[in-house]
Amino acid sequence: MNPTKGKFSNLQPTAYRHLLRGSTCFSALLLSASLAHIAPAHAQEAVETSAADQTATITTPQHTLLKTVVVTSTRTNTPKAKHPGNVARLDGQEVTDIQADHIQQVINRLPGVNVQRGNGQENLTAIRSPVLTGGAGAGSFLYLEDGVPMRAPGFANVNGLFDAFDDVVSSIEVIRGPGSALYGSNAVHGLLNFISLPSTTTPEATTSLRVGPHGVLNSWGTASAGIDAPTYDHAIRFSYSLAKDDGFQDDTGFDQQKAQLRYDHTDPANEVVATLNVMNLNQETGGYVNGTDAYKDDALRKTNANPEAYRDAWSVRSAVHWTHEFNDGSSLTLTPYARTNRMEFRMHFLPSQAIEKNGHWSVGLQSSYKQPFGNGHSFIIGNDFEYSDGYLSELQTDPDIFSYEQGLHYDYTVQATTIAPYLHATWALSDATELTTGVRFEFTNYEYDNLTADGFFGTANRFLRTPDRSDQFADVTPKLGITHAFTEDFIGFANISRGARAPQATDLYRMQFNQVPGEAKSEKLDSVEIGSRGQFAGIEFEMAAFYMKKKNFFFRDSNNFNVINGRTKHYGIELEAFRTLGEQFDISAAATYAVHKYDFNRDVGDINSNITSGDDVDTAPRTIANVRLGYSPIEAARFELEWVHMGEYFTDPGNQESYDGHDLFNLRAAWDINENLQLSGSLTNILDTRYAERADFNRGSDRYFVGEDRALNAGITIRF
């Protein structure tokens, strides 16, 4: 066996892969997708992967969507054609060719996803959801690295994507809505899995450098070598990523460093993949620009009202994936892992401007046993165990403002234990039909220790420090799905599932005067999905419609008070498609039309903060899309014109304030001078549109994270 052909190495096509991300409305998307003739929107079958493949001569995509292999749903190689739900995939070559300076530019190519860029490396995520903040934003999405969560479930980071090693990957997979029974807390609205680039026994190395305006400097590199023996292989890969930005706004900028070490071993009965990831971020953060339409005002848009804001963070993660195959075709997989991280930042988005310090360390073990039976039946039985020890403190050094008083608001530690057995089974009802069933039981125990005085802090009584306590949560999440192949080129799927998450530690222990200790409950989301994938009239596509209802929604309102019992409903349709246009052109699309509504009433006497059942959830655009036209005049060169559409959305719960949305155009180009040298460049925001990456309404004022001006970037990649 070759180390590049194992469990985590199957997802790197040598052909350039495209997939579009929709237009203003679905009719426009369907029209654009029907203009030509389709090729893969996702990965193909297992192939040997290398950094050279990632930057190989750009070629026209091939028809392979139905042959795509994905790993996230079952943690093993699974044909996408048989997956009873949506799954989207970006291969490593496309990630490289995007020339992104923020993960948003990569992830937002997929349907149903809306990552809003904050300042620097910060981000807020939406997957089949509004853009969520605070504990809701941290706990509603599961960020994975080779199937292992990058942070502990109760200690998630709302800016969690900046932890990911995303510049050098084999692929990125996204599942929208609740995950399979193999995933628990935080896999509520969706999950993202960053699959590392496998090692190769053939020595190779690649390095890349890109420069841009306001001091942008990005570099990544990777090198691999190993031993290819008749009965076993050993290989190792080292990859790095360096990013520097002096800042678009005044007094902003960041430096970020990431590194990854991966070891692969295979023999006739075993496969081992071991990874080590480190990340460091030092950021001078820019705050919101305040005032109605301030993002359009050239005198305001580059100003920074919070020059003292900053964010420092680091993390270390390691995991060992060991799979043993038995003679009867069954297999046992054990994945021990460990992580630690620390972060300190000024909360510039709150009136207090307090300093938060947080961190945690974890050890865990994922274990699963897969048993195939005859006639296409199989089951996976497993258990996930994790222990975490975390802390948080919040200190306001600025003078009192409103009900935010100077002093130590919170100081506590939490020990968390999670145990989650699960069962996942596949039943072949016929040659064309498969039924998937699953159930997961997840038990979470929190042991909380308050390190400061119990009770309310100060005279305003805004901050409540609860006495030491224990809290337990038990959640059962069933899954049921079906796929049916109507023809070789048309497959339908449907599923019903529940996602659940225990409250974040901050939901439970960073309490306010309007809360009672122990009243927060596990958030639950029930989902129904129906869809299809295949090829029709030269178009390769996947389409899905969904309806979801959520209860026990814990969030922070526009006056920064916690709400513990919210209810919402979500429904919509998502499409991704691809088609080639003759020999030199291709077009791809990904688009979403979705409605996210409050399903409860809350009257607080403030027209902007009042919640009425049936109103749109704030920061929930109904239309999101991305359309890309590719042109390859010769085999060694490629151009891509991208249209990014963001629909209008309300910025307050009362649906009184809104952002108009925007449309952006970007151009990218790459040229292989020879097999060792590639030149690339991009022109983003071609029309120099004034837009907001994020619009919000808080305490009676519009505020924005401002989008950047037209920008020219240039890069060079060298392969050894």
Q: Quickly list DSSP for 135-194.
A: HHHHHSEEEEETTEESS-GGG--TTGGGGS--SSEEEEEEEESS--TT--TT-SSEEEEE
Which positions of the chain have pLDDT values less than 50?
1-49, 51-52, 55-57, 59-63
The Cα–Cα gap between 219 and 120 comes to 17
Supply the pLDDT for residue 9: 35
CATH number of the domain enclosing 585 = 2.40.170.20
Report the distance separating Cα 665 and Cα 493, nearest Å: 34
pLDDT at 64: 64
Phi, psi of 37 (to 5 degrees): -140, 135
Q: What are phi and psi of 529, to 5 degrees?
A: -140, 140
Strand partners for 340: 316, 361
Report the pLDDT value the prediction gives residue 647, as an integer from 0 to 100: 98
Q: What are the distances in angstroms from CA 653 to CA 133, 603, 613, 617?
A: 13, 11, 11, 6
* Residue 384 parent element (H or E): strand 378-396
Cα 134 to Cα 141: distance, rounded to the nearest angstrom: 12
Is beta strand 190-196 parallel, antiparallel or unpaired with respect to 141-145?
Answer: parallel
Q: Token pair of 644, please?
A: 């990014």
In the three-class reduction of DSSP (H, G, I as helix; E, B as strand; rest coil), residue 560 is classed as coil
The position carrying tokens 């048993």 is: 371
Tally helices (H) and strands (E) across the chain: 6, 39
Q: What angle do CA 10, 14, 16 make, to 5 degrees?
A: 115
DSSP string, 465-483: EPPSEEEEEEEEEEEEEEE
* pLDDT tens-place string over residues 433-491: 999 999 999 999 999 999 999 999 989 999 999 999 999 999 999 999 999 999 999 99
The structural domain count of the chain equals 1
Distances (CA, A) of 495 to 78, 356, 535: 17, 41, 21
- Among 109, 129, 112, smallest CA distance to 189 is for 129
Tokens encoding 29: 């998307």
**Other CB atoms within 10 Å distance of the CB of residue 454:** 10
Q: Are 33 and 65 spatial neighbours (Cβ–Cβ below 8 Å)?
A: no
- 173 Cβ contact partners less than 8 Å away, ≥ 6 residues apart: 11, 70, 71, 72, 87, 88, 89, 192, 193, 195
Helix (H) or strand (E) holding 553: strand 539-556
Q: Which residues pair with 117 in a beta bridge?
A: 123
Of 74, 75, 18, which Cα lies nearest the Cα of 43? Answer: 18
Its sign, for the CA torsion 496, 502, 504, 507, is: positive
The vertex-79 CA angle with 74 and 81, nearest 5°, equals 115
Place of tokens 């040229």: 671
How far apart CA 333 and CA 595 sit, in angstroms, is 40
Which pLDDT score is estimated for 559?
73
Which pLDDT belongs to residue 327? 95
Strands 355-372, 649-650: pairing is: unpaired
Task: Look at the alpha carbons of 159, 160, 165, 167 in this order and tell me if their dihedral is positive or negative.
Answer: negative
Contacts of 115 (CB under 8 A, 6+ apart): 103, 104, 107, 108, 123, 124, 125, 126, 161
> Model-level pTM?
0.91
The whole domain housing 685 covers: 3-719
Give pLDDT, residue 77. 83
